[in-house]
C-alpha cells in the first residue's frame, strides 16, 4: 500500500517518519529522470531492475536526509530539502519506504557522477520507466501517481 502526501503533510506522518527502511528520489533533470540499474548482490531486492536513487536508512536519519545522502553517494547530485517537492510512503516487506520527487535543470545531467552502487545509470523518460518490463512495479505505480498529480 502507498500513501501519498503533500510536502506539508510529510511532517505529520509520525510512525512512518520514525521507523522506515529507506528512501528513494524520483530525480528529474528537465523532462528526463536519472535511473540506476540494481546489481545482483546476494540479498538485494529486485536484482538487475531499474531503480531510483536512494537506499537504506542510517541511524537517526530523517527520510529527507536519507534520500539526500543516498542521491549524493550514488550520483554525486547534491539536493537540498527544499528540492524534495513530493512524498509518498510505501509499506514494504522491510518496513515503510519513502519516495520523493526532485526537479533540477536538464543541464544538471552533465554533472552526474556514478558512485559505483549498482550496475550503472542512465537517463530515461518517465513514461519509458513506467513501461519498462524491468522497472520495479511499485516504483512505476508511485511515479505514475506522481505524474497524474500534474508533475
What digits encode the pLDDT tens for the residues 35-53?
999 998 888 889 999 999 9
Residue 42's φ and ψ, nearest 5 degrees, are -55, 135
Predicted confidence at residue 138, as pLDDT, reads 93
Predicted confidence at residue 13, as pLDDT, reads 57
Confidence of residue 14 (pLDDT cuts 50, 70, 90): low
How large is the average pLDDT for residues 67-96? 92
What digits encode the pLDDT tens for the residues 116-150?
888 999 999 999 999 999 999 999 999 999 999 87
Measured over the CA atoms of residue 68, residue 70, residue 126 and residue 112, the dihedral's sign is positive
Give SS3 for 129.
Answer: helix
CA 91/CA 112 separation, integer angstroms: 30
Supply the pTM of this predicted model.
Answer: 0.88
Amino acid at each position: 500500500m502507498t500513501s501519498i502526501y503533500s510536502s506539508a503533510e510529510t511532517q505529520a506522518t509520525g510512525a512512518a517518519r520514525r521507523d522506515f527502511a529507506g528512501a528513494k528520489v524520483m530525480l528529474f533533470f528537465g523532462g528526463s529522470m536519472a535511473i540506476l540499474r540494481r546489481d545482483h548482490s546476494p540479498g538485494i531486492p529486485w536484482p538487475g531492475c531499474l531503480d531510483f536513487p536512494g537506499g537504506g536508512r542510517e541511524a537517526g536519519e530523517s527520510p529527507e536526509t536519507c534520500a539526500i545522502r543516498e542521491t549524493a553517494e550514488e550520483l554525486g547530485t547534491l539536493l537540498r530539502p527544499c528540492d524534495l517537492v513530493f512524498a509518498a510512503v510505501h509499506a514494504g516487506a522491510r518496513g515503510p519506504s519513502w519516495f520523493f520527487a526532485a526537479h533540477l535543470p536538464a543541464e544538471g545531467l552533465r554533472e552526474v557522477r556514478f558512485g559505483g552502487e549498482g550496475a550503472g545509470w542512465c537517463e530515461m523518460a518517465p513514461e519509458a520507466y513506467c513501461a519498462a518490463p524491468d522497472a520495479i512495479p511499485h516504483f512505476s505505480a508511485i511515479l505514475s501517481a506522481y505524474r497524474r498529480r500534474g508533475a
